[in-house]
Structure 1
Amino acid sequence: MLYAEDLVSGHTYELGSYTVTRDEILSFARQWDPQGFHVDETIAADGFFGEVIASGIHTLAVFQRLSVLGAYNRWAVIAGRTLRDVQFRSPVRSGQELTGSLKVTKVDLDKPGRALVVTEGVLATGDTTVLTVDLDMYVRTRPTA
């Protein structure tokens, strides 16, 4: 388990990858973001992107999954605090493999028992960045004996 004192400003965690499928894009969007260009292939084909693309919320959910599996499960996380400057930089299309990274930018031991950890997240496919996000969370400090 990594506590706040173990997290080093400037360190980047590689989070692994996830491939988004067409069926997943459609299913997620039908439930959570049922805009035509996310759920209807005919509408999407005539639209700006020429095909169904993943919802931005879906893209953010993929990043969260990778963050949990690649970092947070090993951190003594108390809870998330803030999502800042979320940018959907490029559409996510069916079959794309998304790879995530998370950089610790600040560890502020603000109160006994916890620290505010500030991070910058990136989700990309190949050389194309699809998502950037700044996140703050509270992480436990090492228990005292």
Structure 2
Amino acid sequence: MKSNVSTDRLSIADLNLGDRTELGKYTISTDDIVTFARQWDPQFFHIDEERAVTDGYFGGIIASGIQTLAIFQRLSVKSFIQNLNVIGGAGIDGLQFRRPVRPGDTLTGSIVIKDIQIQSDRGRALVAYTGELINQNAEPVLVLTISAYVQMRTT
């Protein structure tokens, strides 16, 4: 599906409720999972392939949820957020890890504008969007709603 949002620098006036942006793709490898987890989430089911098979609930190594969230962020920035003058994040609601991400999975997804609260006296808007990552089988692996402050363009 195509985005109905332009890829040029956007202003708040360019955003509409329901605008949908398709994310790019990211295929995750065992090395990606282990390298990330060794630094940020060193639980055995992320870093020890043998033990993940014998003792892990999922029968093999899986990506950290934090890594899955980071992949979502990267894809969102590259496909949409970099086109805005973002001031900073305001929060994440409803974060759910729906199923494990495994080596070889190809993740993609979309974001949809859910709410726009103009704060013209502060030169910004609070933009909320829902997001979803799915694997190559179209199974959701992550869902969430993110809010971020976006600077309003003056021209």
TM-score, length basis structure 1: 0.96
Query: Tell me, which stretches of 5 or more residues in structure 2 are unaligned?
Result: 1-8
Counterpart in the other structure of 1:24: 32
Establish whether residue 103 from structure 1 lines up as the match of residue 112 from structure 2.
yes
- One-letter amino acid of the counterpart of residue 99, structure 1: T
Match of 1:115 among 125, 131, 153: 125
SS of the equivalent of 2:24 reads strand
Give the drift of 1:39: 0.7
Cα distance per residue 1:43-100 (max 9 Å; x no partner)? 2102111110000000000000000000011112111110111100010000110002
RMSD: 1.0
Counterpart in the other structure of 1:86: 95
Paired positions, count: 144
Alignment of 1:1-145 (within 5 A): 1-46=9-54, 47-112=56-121, 113-125=123-135, 126-144=137-155
Separation (CA, whole Å) in 2 of partners of 1:106 and 1:5? 13
Separation (CA, whole Å) in 2 of partners of 1:111 and 1:33? 41
Give the drift of 1:110: 2.3
Separation (CA, whole Å) in 2 of partners of 1:100 and 1:127? 9
Separation (CA, whole Å) in 2 of partners of 1:94 and 1:16? 18
Give the drift of 1:5: 1.7
Structure scoring higher RCO (CA < 8 A, sep ≥ 6) equals 1
SS of the equivalent of 1:23 reads helix
Give the drift of 1:8: 0.8
Percent identical among aligned pairs is 47
Runs of 4 or more off by more than 2 Å in structure 1?
none
SS of the equivalent of 1:16 reads coil
Separation (CA, whole Å) in 1 of partners of 2:109 and 2:82? 15
Moved more, 120-129 or 55-64: 120-129
Query: Tell me, which stretches of 5 or more residues in structure 1 are unaligned?
Result: none
